[in-house]
């Protein structure tokens, strides 16, 4: 049950990322993903990019683990890694640009990733004992 909650938290915290660019342009990742999903059905060529499709695939992998009796470690880590491709890039941009809103919006995901890895390690050592 704890792993399912962590996987759900990974999905939720991933869409909370905040983006800013140019003069007055900003959005949360959730809004951007909604545009991407709409674009997949209307104009697929306009949304095909690794930074859009890989994190979306990661979220779908994590969503699949929520329907498993025991969330798989491989699927969890693959999903987490796919999302991390984008969110760690946003995290680094927030640090380099000294933009606290961008930096802070990615921290919940980073913390949840660390907690997920720790939980999986504890389960592995408990299973071996």
Tell me the pLDDT tens digit for each residue of 34-80: 988 898 889 888 888 888 889 999 999 999 999 999 898 999 999 99
Classified as helix, coil or strand, 18 is strand
Integer angstrom CA distances of residue 67 from 9, 23, 45, 56, 125:
15, 42, 31, 18, 25
**What's the pTM?**
0.87
Tell me the pLDDT tens digit for each residue of 46-58: 888 888 889 999 9
d(CA 24, CA 31): 16
Query: CA nearest 109: which of 17, 1, 4, 2?
Result: 17
Tell me the pLDDT tens digit for each residue of 100-123: 999 999 999 999 999 999 999 988
Helix residue ranges per DSSP H, the chain: 2-14, 29-42, 44-47, 50-65, 73-96, 100-128
Checking DSSP bridges between strand 18-21 and strand 25-28, what pairing results, if any?
antiparallel
């Amino acid at each position: 049950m704890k792993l399912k909650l962590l996987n759900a938290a990974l999905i939720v915290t991933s869409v909370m990322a905040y983006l800013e660019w140019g003069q007055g342009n900003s959005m949360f990742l959730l809004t951007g993903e909604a545009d991407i999903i709409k674009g997949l059905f209307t104009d697929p060529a306009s949304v095909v990019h690794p930074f859009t499709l890989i994190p979306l695939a990661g979220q779908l992998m994590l969503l699949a683990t929520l329907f498993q009796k025991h969330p798989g470690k491989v699927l969890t880590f693959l999903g987490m890694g796919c999302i991390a491709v984008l969110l760690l890039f946003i995290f680094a941009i927030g640090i380099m640009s000294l933009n606290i809103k961008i930096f802070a919006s990615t921290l919940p995901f980073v913390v949840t990733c660390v907690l997920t890895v720790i939980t999986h390690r504890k389960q592995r050592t408990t299973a071996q004992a």
